[in-house]
Chains A and B, each alone.
Chain A
Amino acid sequence: MEIDQHPYADILRKEMMPNIWCPGCRIGRIKNTFIETIQQLGYDPDKCTVVSGIGCSSRIAGYLNLDTIHATHGRAIPTALGVKLANPELKVSVMGGDGDILGIGGNHFLALGRHGQDLNVFCMNNFGYSMTGFQHGPTTPFGARTITTSSGNPYAPVNPVAVAMAAGYTFVARSTSAHPYHLIDCMVSAMKNRGPSFIEILVPCMLYERRNKIKSLEALFLDKAKIKETLSAEDIDQSDFMKRISLGIFRDDPVRQRPQLSLVKSTKKVAAGKFDIKYKSRASGIKYMQIRMEGTGGQGIVQGGKVMIKAAMNMDPKLNSTLTKRYGPEMKGGSCLTDVLLSSQHVDYPFVDVPDLLLMMSGLVAKERGGKVIINDKGTIVVDESMVDLSLLENLPKTVKVFKIPATQIARENFRVVVANNVLMGFVCKTTSIIDKNCFKAAIVKSAPPGTEELNLSAFESGYKYKKS
């Protein structure tokens, strides 16, 4: 085959040739300039990746024998970002049209400027959605005729260069397909730039020419475009591109130095060896145990469940366990429950059906359920006396053990209300004796916010020592 002797044969995907673009379409020339850029910079083709979306110009990815991804419509930039984050060595380029990058993927285009990763976005602007028959798009010039704007486009076009400048791209340039040598220079600079780079490439489209009775956009670009060394703010404007097009590099900055994070202060202090609590692991003999903690949001229900599961794992690391939590959209004041499941075998179903141990910190969940307390016939209930309406527990079978403690009252009188869950935990540890005390204490130290270990531990102790007067 003759194509094998082509100088670009290494990077062309020859089994896909000849390509599908219309005769007179210059998108294939952008592909050639990209290949020239790689060859000029001497990059290893294995280290170059091209990601593209949907559209005429996005077909470039199919004709390059690199590692390429043909992503969904508009999502080329997020896909490329994923590639870059997974393997920072790669030189990742995004090839796409104006409809793909600015229209449907407009949000991702803005987000890349904020993100600041080293991606090269090459946007081929052909003034509309040409693959589907030329509907009007974000960059269709004012007054231009397309299928969907048959009497002239009434909307003002987006200026891609201005958007990229505002979004914070570190390299912004404009070129056309009629100036491939200039485009190669721009692409080389864009590949060398270490921030997000954007090049707007004006490409003629046959359909646009025919509908708007322009003889040749390519000749127009060659005639009107001027390559400038230094560009002013006026050159960004491109609304009358039939009269004047300014090409060149608008911005070529090193990577932006982001200011030091002032909002987030590192508050985490490493706890000294003071609260180093030693515990002994032992076989607990639990086969299958369902624990549920009910209450109102804000009482530390989820935190209590976490302490519970950590304590159980401290005691018997061979157990399998799951923690699921359920709460409404409100952070505080709504019903809330945490399910902890301990099993000696693999857990197939992570939710709790009928709890063996129920810790009630408020009656809200039971009231929402219609006053029904779900508990195993041989189960145990630990109730916060000061919060729960005890009439809820009247209709229970007599085999159910009920333990009562005014945990919130104790916490309010001696400590702070927020540690009521640990008071209850101490009482649970004492009455049920499923999990050892030191295992509980170690779990509390681990999950308490730094600086409050002592408060939580003393709350636990007071719950442990509670005796009904």
Chain B
Amino acid sequence: MKHEVSPVRYWNIQECTIPVGKVTIIANFCKGGEDCDDCIRFCPEKVLERGTVPNERGFFPPILVDDGKCTVCGRCQLYCSENAIFVEKTGERVVTPDEIAHREENS
């Protein structure tokens, strides 16, 4: 659901850069499924989703939905008990004030 952004509330937001990262999933280490799914639940950008293809031990590792959205917060890396996921910073991108305002409204 998208609301209309009121320009009065976000008048002082300026353009900024945020990091862009690459998520790597080591499928054979993962113990995902109904019990875990920490990386999916704690990801603020909702980059990951429960997979449908089981790995060699019968668990369902997550799949990457939208790689470009990752902001290298490192939460999945810290929360994963099995060290089956990690992120690397690949670059930076510019965020416009409009986008920030949209995020604030929709969060």
Which 10 residue pairs spanning A and B have beta carbons closest together?
Answer: A28-B81, A24-B35, A23-B31, A18-B29, A23-B35, A6-B86, A2-B26, A24-B36, A29-B81, A32-B78
Contact code string B22-40 (vs A, CB < 8 Å = 1, else 0): 0010101101110110000
User: Among the listed B32, B36, B83, B88, which residue makes an inter-chain contact with A17, where contact means beta carbons less than 8 Å apart?
Assistant: B83
Residues of A within 8 A of B32 (CB): 23
B86 near A19 (CB under 8 angstroms)? no
SS of B interface (majority): loop
When C-beta atoms are compared, the residue in chain B nearest to A12 turns out to be B83
Contact of B79 among A6, A8, A25, A180 (CB under 8 A): A180
Complex Cα gap A8–B88 (Å): 12
- What string of 1s and 0s marks CB contacts (under 8 Å) between B56-80 and chain A? 0001000000000000000001111
Chain A: CB-nearest residue to B28:
A18
Nearest-neighbour CB distance to chain B for A7, whole angstroms, equals 6
Closest to B74 in A: A7
CB distance from A97 to the nearest CB of B (A): 15
Binding site for B on A (CB under 8 A): 2-3, 5-8, 12, 17-19, 21-29, 31-33, 36, 180-181, 206
Please, how many angstroms separate the alpha-carbon atoms of A67 and B59 in the complex? Answer: 32
**Chain A proximity of B36: nearest CB distance (Å):** 5
CB of A8 within 8 A of CB of B83, answer yes
Complex CA–CA separation, A212 to B29 (angstroms): 29
Interfacial residues of chain B within 4-26, with CB under 8 A of chain A in the complex? 24, 26
| A to B CB contacts below 8 Å, 18 in the list | A2-B24, A3-B29, A6-B83, A7-B88, A8-B86, A18-B31, A18-B82, A18-B84, A23-B59, A24-B31, A24-B35, A25-B81, A27-B81, A28-B83, A32-B77, A32-B79, A180-B79, A206-B35
Across the interface, name the chain B residue whose C-beta is closest to A183.
B78
A5 near B86 (CB under 8 angstroms)? yes
Taking Cβ atoms with an 8 Å cutoff, the residues of B that contact A are: 24, 26, 28-29, 31-33, 35-36, 59, 77-84, 86, 88
Our pick among B33, B78, B83 for the contact of A23 (Cβ within 8 Å) is B33
Give CA–CA (A36, B28) in the complex, Å. 23
Distance (whole angstroms) from the CB of A177 to the closest CB of chain B: 9
Chain A contacts of B59 at CB under 8 A?
23
* C-alpha spacing A26/B26, complex, angstroms: 18
Bound: A335/B24 CA distance, A: 78
Q: Tell me, rounded to whole Å, the shortest Cβ–Cβ distance linking B31 to chain A.
A: 4
Residues of A within 8 A of B82 (CB): 18-19, 21, 28
Residues in A neighbouring B35, C-beta threshold 8 A: 22-24, 206
Count of A-B residue pairs with CB < 8 Å? 64
Q: B80 near A28 (CB under 8 angstroms)?
A: yes
Chain B residues, Cβ within 8 Å of A5: 24, 86, 88
Whether A36 and B78, one on each chain, are in contact in the complex, defined by CB atoms closer than 8 angstroms, is yes
Assembly CA distance A36 to B80 (angstroms): 13
Q: Are A7 and B29 in contact, with the CB atoms below 8 A?
A: no
Contacts of B81 in A (CB 8 A): 19, 21, 25-29, 31-32
Of chain B, the residue at the smallest CB distance from A26 is B81
Distance, CA A27 to CA B26, complexed state (A)? 19
Q: A5-B24, A24-B35, A24-B36 are in contact. Are A32 and B86 (CB under 8 A)?
A: no
B77: chain A residues within 8 A (beta carbon): 7-8, 32
Bound-state Cα–Cα, A21 to B78, Å: 16
Q: Please give 10 more A-B residue pairs, beta carbons under 8 A apart, in addition to A7-B88, A32-B81.
A: A5-B24, A12-B83, A18-B82, A19-B82, A24-B36, A29-B78, A29-B80, A29-B81, A32-B78, A36-B78
Cα A3 to Cα B77 with chains together (Å): 12
Q: Is the Cβ of A32 less than 8 Å from the Cβ of B80?
A: yes
Q: Give chain A residues whose Cβ lies under 8 Å from the Cβ of B29.
A: 3, 17-18
A262 CB to closest chain B CB (Å) equals 50
CA distance A17 to B83 in the complex (A): 9
User: Which residue among A6, A22, A36 has the maximum number of chain B CB atoms within 10 Å of its CB?
Assistant: A6
What distance in Å separates the Cβ of B8 from its nearest Cβ neighbour in chain A?
A: 34
Which residues of the partner chain A approach B24 to less than 8 Å between Cβ atoms? 2, 5
What is the bound-complex CA distance between A7 and B80, given in angstroms? 13
Measured CB to CB, the closest approach of chain A to B71, in angstroms, equals 16
B55 to chain A, nearest CB (A): 10
List B contacts of A8 (CB < 8 A). 77, 83, 86
Assembly CA distance A23 to B79 (angstroms)? 13
In angstroms, how far is the closest chain B Cβ from the Cβ of A464? 81
- Chain B residue with Cβ nearest A63: B83
Q: A32 contacts which chain B residues (CB < 8 A)?
A: 77-81, 83
* Chain A residue, CB-CB nearest to B87: A7
Q: A residues within 8 A CB of B78? A: 29, 32-33, 36, 180-181
**A206 to B34 CA separation, bound complex (whole angstroms):** 12
Q: Which residues of A contact B86 (CB under 8 A)?
A: 5-8
Rounded to whole angstroms, the CA-CA distance of A8 and B29 in the bound complex is 15
- The closest CB in chain B to the CB of A1 belongs to B26
Q: Bound complex: CA of A446 vs CA of B24, how far in Å? A: 74
Name the residue on A nearest B85 (C-beta): A6
